[in-house]
Structure 1
């Protein structure tokens, strides 16, 4: 099946690859392949003994990767979520670095047929893997009003989630929502333009995408799998684009969940060292912000596996 070509400008490309500290003979995993921008830079730093493992849920990204990288004996490609990296035999020997560039890619946003964007009319889909799970249209046609409101609040931090959910349920009694513009126009009519330079449907679309693709659950599982399979001294580099992702990454890297809770009338338990040492975080440079507006919300966090 022929696919239109959509370009993608990787965010913090040089910074992310530098943070991985690529060794010529190392093994690295890019869990969010996209259009291969980060992967190309990592591969350029590998020698003959190096290995690059590429994963993505999106079948279109995998098709592009096959054209770009399949002929290189150092590269292996797998269509799957990075949450399942531990089940890949290629990972069993350990990893020297893992890169996760989260969220939706520019080609996914720009391709109206994928249904991620409210800026162009397309089917209301929003699945990273169109061959798996329910589309946004299918979910909105079946979910209860309270379920819809909960998703919009939890994953979009939409203060008017109940009002939007009620409007969706009332609308589907007459006509089921099928396109991105139908949903975007419904949300705009329901809550109006409240935030400058932000479409009223922005939070709704974000929330539905995160829910349908289980993005936070996948991220949590992927961070754990990456940490487990990193070799001592290996680097974990994560680029996130909204506060829900970034808070999860920050908390995980700091290892807060691994610290024991103190109990009343008992001596405090000895704290176990977190498996990762936090190296730091970075934001896009002013030059990158001018050249690529989509980088404005990006946060890159870096951690290293302790010995």
Structure 2
């Protein structure tokens, strides 16, 4: 394979607070190849969104500190100036934000948002940009797009706003699309349309996609590789089929155990992960999942490294040869 499109090395995102530094992302390293779809899963607060927002310097908090490297096309995003990043955001790297209610400026029309981005990165007239905006709204399933293009965000429902945000992200056919919960607030039919749009973006332009989601079903359908995060750290990473069929980390077991089965015997109740998600204010020195793990060992007081063979890695001290038996106990 050639050079990766995006290569993140030892990314750390820390916030300065009155009680001391709080680590939101702790040493994340991952690569995304051209045309590849990487799914990132984990509970809320695991560092999924913060890690991606920090790459584009979209966290404006003056108390944030971001270290590490994030090479996009061989150049470090974290060392680029704001002017250089403005030329990249929306054109080469686009992001579908998690909350469609706040992602659009209320005093401008939906069409203005899309046309403004198109004209910022492409030599289009106002008329050409408007025509393309209508086409994009039609592609994401907005009925009567030629009329609705002049509506304001408050005239759209939550699901329609989500689709408008997706149209905005796809406008310039980005080389890398970061999709943060892109199917939130959408019905099943529209979800299928959006996933199909992202597939077409990948097929037509070779675009890579980083898909942040809680929906294991979406990951299994779209992603080539999956990264499981917990407590700001990567706990498992590998090919999607391998991770979903033969998960290695107890946290991944818990995530998969919470998904209802459509085949096989019906369980009396879904498996649950005991306790609550680890707080970034009190991140343990060792394994972040250890306080909730039923298989905790004394060595878990030391921080495990992400290791493994054949591209399937995990950060767990449990002996690999006995994990499949232990997982049966969680089902």
TM-score range, shorter chain: 0.3 to 0.5
Higher strand share: 2
Higher helix share: 1
Task: Give the TM-score normalised by structure 1.
Answer: 0.34
